[in-house]
């Protein structure tokens, strides 16, 4: 009893919008069946919260994450108009979620590529996405010249490089590729390359480390993705390459993502709230369940994460239970129940 009490891990659970509550229910069903140690503090965010609190990301939700430092989150719709900033961006800023981790693994064979197993680690707070942009008017053209500046700091580069190399070691990966454009953006991505190389020296005994220029990397991902294992890169390149990598395994539909920061870690599906299928019990909960498996890895329960991943493979390929988007007939609930039987 005492043992069980000690192993409980408080975590914030945000059902979110659209299909969010359905896929969160499915995920919690699977986690409960696997014996996951989370003690949920359910909090609102998104449209429901906007209606209830006048804010899509209200204080009680932020306070809960501040306390638990760990969250599993359904997709949040960004209300159009009304001047609301994306809740996802606000979370990233509030909790300094500097590392975005996007694994891509072949789940359904028969696509363009077989046996893909890659992880992209993207710096999430610096680079060309800091938003230092402006126009210079000339004559009657207010937008005659557009200027944008990127910011990469030594501290930020050290932080993301250490995160990527530690992640690779912890997850028993074999290789890390540093992706940059230091041949052209000599300072902005030069500092990233230089720093990642220096940090990498400390890991040479445990990992193979190589480098690619981002354009070459994009091409090689299409020609021979198996040469890569973990990729670490700056914000803009990471944004683009993570979608490319998701494309290697059939698109964003089953892609999980983790946002890891100094103050919290937030796990989610990469897809949105899918309002077109909300409330119909047809959504595929796999991306969120895979995000929950990453959360288990994060809290040191790799054993349970592995059980969930293996259960997914068995449910899809042995039991042949799949949701409609994967050519099956199972509802969200039926899929979750089938997977829960496999992991319990
Ligand atoms: P979306 O990803 O919600 O939907 C795109 C298409 O994929 C739709 O046809 C949808 O039915 C389908 N789809 C998505 N997830 C699915 C699932 N689990 N199972 C089966 N089919 C699925 O993208 P969309 O329509 O552009 O965005 C809708 C809302 O979601 C917007 O308000 C957007 O701001 C928000 N969003 C939130 C994100 C987050 O919270 N991380 C990420 C992306 C979008």
Query: Do residues 170 and 123 share a domain?
Result: yes
Give per-residue pLDDT as tens, 223-241: 999 999 999 999 999 999 9
Eight-class DSSP state of 86: P
Instruction: Give me the domain span that covers residue 214.
Output: 99-251
pLDDT band at 127 (very low <50, low <70, confident <90, very high): very high
Query: Do residues 303 and 242 share a domain?
Result: no
Kindly state the tokens that stand for 18: 């659209």
| CATH number for position 318 | 3.40.718.10
What is the best residue among 23, 91, 259, 271 to mutate for testing ligand 1's pocket, by most ligand atoms within 8 Å of CB? 271
Query: Do residues 246 and 287 share a domain?
Result: no
pLDDT at 5 over 80: no
- Residues 17, 73, 98, 129: which is the catalytic one? 129
Average pLDDT of the segment spanning 308-317:
97
Give per-residue pLDDT as tens, 176-217: 999 999 999 999 999 999 999 999 999 999 999 999 999 999
Residue 257 falls inside a structural domain: no
Instruction: Print the SS3 string covering 205-223.
Output: CCCEEEEEEHHHHHHHHHH
Query: Do residues 47 and 105 share a domain?
Result: no
Last residue of a domain, one of 251, 274, 302: 251
Is residue 181 part of the annotated active site? The answer reads yes
Distance CA 285, CA 254 (A): 8
Q: Which class for 96: exposed (0-12), middle (13-18), buried (19 or more C-beta within 10 A)?
A: middle
Give per-residue pLDDT as tens, 323-334: 999 999 999 999
Query: Do residues 129 and 273 share a domain?
Result: no
Average pLDDT of the segment spanning 64-85:
87
Query: Do residues 336 and 242 share a domain?
Result: no
Q: Is 97 left (phi over 0), alpha (psi -120 to 50) or beta?
A: beta
Give per-residue pLDDT as tens, 271-286: 999 999 999 999 999 9
pTM of the complete model:
0.93
Q: What is the mean pLDDT of the chain?
A: 94
Q: Is 54 left (phi over 0), alpha (psi -120 to 50) or beta?
A: left
Strand-pairing partners, residue 92, are none
Last residue of a domain, one of 189, 220, 251: 251
Is residue 215 part of the annotated active site? The answer reads yes
Query: Do residues 30 and 111 share a domain?
Result: no
Eight-class DSSP state of 228: -
| CB-ligand 1 contact for 271 (6 Å cutoff) | yes
Query: Do residues 81 and 166 share a domain?
Result: no
Q: How many domains does the chain have?
A: 2
For residue 227, CA distances in Å to 40, 146, 174 come to: 40, 38, 11
Query: Do residues 226 and 108 share a domain?
Result: yes
Residue 256 falls inside a structural domain: no
- Residues shown for the chain: 344
Residue 80 falls inside a structural domain: yes
Is residue 129 part of the annotated active site? The answer reads yes
Which residues are CB-contacts of 296 (< 8 A; sequence separation ≥ 6)?
A: 36, 302, 304, 305, 308
Q: Give per-residue burial for 175-213: e unless 16+ CB within 10 Å, then b.
A: ebbbbbbbeebeebbbbbbebbeebbeebeeebebebbb
Query: Do residues 143 and 103 share a domain?
Result: yes
pLDDT of 6 = 54
Q: In sequence order, what DSSP letters do the residues of 280-343 get, joined into one string?
A: SS----HHHHHHHHHHHHHTT-HHHHHHHHHHHHHHHHTS---BGGGT--B-HHHHHHHHHHHH
Query: Do residues 147 and 86 share a domain?
Result: no
Q: How far is the CA of 284 from the centre of ligand 1 (A)?
A: 11
Residue 154 falls inside a structural domain: yes
Strand-pairing partners, residue 9, are 38
Distance CA 235, CA 130 (A): 9
Contact 204, 169 (CB under 8 A): no
Closest to 230 in 3D by CA, of 250, 251, 209 = 209
Q: How far is the CA of 282 from the centre of ligand 1 (A)?
A: 13
| CB-ligand 1 contact for 245 (6 Å cutoff) | no
Residue 63: phi and psi, rounded to 5, are -65, -40
Query: Do residues 87 and 145 share a domain?
Result: no
Residue 56 falls inside a structural domain: yes
Residue 322 falls inside a structural domain: yes
């Amino acid at each position: 009893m005492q043992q069980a009490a000690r192993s409980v891990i408080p975590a914030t659970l945000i059902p979110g919008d659209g299909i969010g509550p359905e896929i969160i229910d499915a995920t919690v069903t699977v986690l409960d069946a696997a014996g996951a140690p989370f003690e949920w503090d359910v909090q609102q965010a998104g449209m429901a919260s906007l209606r209830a609190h006048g804010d899509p990301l209200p204080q009680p939700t932020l306070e809960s994450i501040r306390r638990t430092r760990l969250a599993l989150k359904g997709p949040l719709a960004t209300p159009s108009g009304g001047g609301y900033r994306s809740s996802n961006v606000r979370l990233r800023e509030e909790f300094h979620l500097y590392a975005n981790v996007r694994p891509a693994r072949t789940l359904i064979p028969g696509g363009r590529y077989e046996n893909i197993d890659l992880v992209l680690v993207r710096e999430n707070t610096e680079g060309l996405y800091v938003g230092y942009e402006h126009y210079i008017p000339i004559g009657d053209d207010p937008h005659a010249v557009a200027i944008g500046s990127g910011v990469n700091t030594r501290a930020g580069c050290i932080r993301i490089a250490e995160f990527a190399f530690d992640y690779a070691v912890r997850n028993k990966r074999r290789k890390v590729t540093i992706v940059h454009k230091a041949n052209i953006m000599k300072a902005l991505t030069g500092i990233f390359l230089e720093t990642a190389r220096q940090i990498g020296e400390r890991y040479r005994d445990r990992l193979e480390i190589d480098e690619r220029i981002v354009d070459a990397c994009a091409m090689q991902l299409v020609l021979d993705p198996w040469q890569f294992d973990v990729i670490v890169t700056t914000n803009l390149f990471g944004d683009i390459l993570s979608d490319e990598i998701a494309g290697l395994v059939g698109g964003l539909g089953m892609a999980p993502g983790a946002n890891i920061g100094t103050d919290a870690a937030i796990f989610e599906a990469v897809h949105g709230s899918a309002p077109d299928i909300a409330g119909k019990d047809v959504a595929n909960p796999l991306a969120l369940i895979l995000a929950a498996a990453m959360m288990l890895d994060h809290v040191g329960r790799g054993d349970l994460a592995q059980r969930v991943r293996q259960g997914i493979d068995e449910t899809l390929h042995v039991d042949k239970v799949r949701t409609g988007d994967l050519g099956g007939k199972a509802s969200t609930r039926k899929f979750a129940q089938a997977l829960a039987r496999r992991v319990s």
